[in-house]
Each structure stands twice: as structure tokens, then as C-alpha cells.
Chains A and B, each alone.
Chain A
């Protein structure tokens, strides 16, 4: 419930979300998805949902980016769009 920070972070979330699907490189997309998840965690913390923020922090920082990188490592980085 801290609206100035909230507004800025929301803007950044939109930017990183658009970036994650627009980048023409799957590894870059995975990395940007990591940023998206960091910012989402901050957003939950600002709204006071501590447990959700904790889950998102551990999941986003620890696991999901690694899964994406592992999958890209096992397939290919190439994408047409």
C-alpha cells in the first residue's frame, strides 16, 4: 500500500514483460523473465502479501530461471519472433 513505489514498479513490470516476449533470443527471454519475476515479488511485498512474495522470491530467483536456462541449453536458442 505504498503507492509511489507501487506505480513505478508496475510500470517496470509492464516493460520487462513486453521485453521478455519481444526479445529475439530465447536465452535473453529467459533472463528477462527472471527480471519480471523479481519485480513481481516486489509488487507482492508492497501490497503486503509477505508469504506470496517469499514464494515468488524463492521460486523466481532460485528455480524457474534455472529451468528455463536448462531447457534452452537442451534445445536451441534460435527463435524467429
Chain B
């Protein structure tokens, strides 16, 4: 029992990941307002980014920028254990900027929908589509 409990307690950052995914998913499904849905989508995105970043963390190591500016002189060999894993950072860095670009497109769609139907609520839009 204690082993299971400790295995849950040492992974508290994943709880936050799960919680944020649930929040984002709830907003995507249950909220009727388009801008609220977009916010939910963004929360979902950042939750996934958080998951990747927390996978790359290492206990007792420093940020992935080498200390001395002349690493190729190699007085001492660089140890991989001393630096945080840079790979998830690379993948997620581009993902954040791409998420802003997609946010722009999503908001443009929302503005277009509002110009067409005069509302952002999903059910009102559906009623207007069904009417004629």
C-alpha cells in the first residue's frame, strides 16, 4: 500500500497535468461559447506542454546551457547527467509559438462567425442555421 501511495505522491506534477487536461476538455465539450472553447483548447495545449517539460526534468541538475562559453576546448568532458534533457524543450518551444498562430486563426474564425450570425453561442447559431 505504501509503495503505491509513495508512487502517487512522487508524481504530483502529473496530477496537475491530469487536472489541466480535464479542465480543458470540459471547456471544449460543455461550454457553448466559442471563445470559451478556444480558451479550453489553449489550456489543453499548455497541459500537454507541461507534461513534456516535466518528463525532461532531472533531479539535481542544472539548465541546459553549458557553463563556459568555449565548450569545444573540452578541458573536462560534459556529463549528460549534469544537464536537464533539452529535447522536450525544443519540441515544446516551437509548439508554443505554433499554438499562438493557431489561436489567431481560431479567433479569426470566431470573428467571422460573429459577423455572419451576430452571436458566439453555439445553440443560437444552430437555431439560426436550422430556421430557414
The short answer to whether A and B are in direct contact, CB under 8 Å, is yes
Closest to A62 in B: B100
Distance in angstroms from B98 CB to nearest chain A CB is: 11
- In the complex the two chains form, is A6's CB within 8 Å of B31's CB? no
Distance in angstroms from B104 CB to nearest chain A CB is: 6
| A-B pairs with beta carbons under 8 A, tally | 128
Which chain B residues in 6-53 approach chain A with CB under 8 Å?
12-13, 16, 19-20, 23-24, 26-27, 30-33, 35-36, 39-40, 42-43, 46, 49-50, 53
Interface centre among B32, B43, B90 (most CB of A within 10 A): B43
Which chain A residues in 19-60 approach chain B with CB under 8 Å?
20-21, 26, 29-30, 33, 36-37, 40, 43-44, 47-52, 55-56, 59
Closest to A14 in B: B19
**Docked pose: A29 CA to B110 CA in angstroms:** 16
Q: Is the interface of A mostly helix, strand, loop or mixed?
A: helix
Interface centre among A7, A68, A71 (most CB of B within 10 A): A71
- In the complex the two chains form, is A20's CB within 8 Å of B62's CB? no
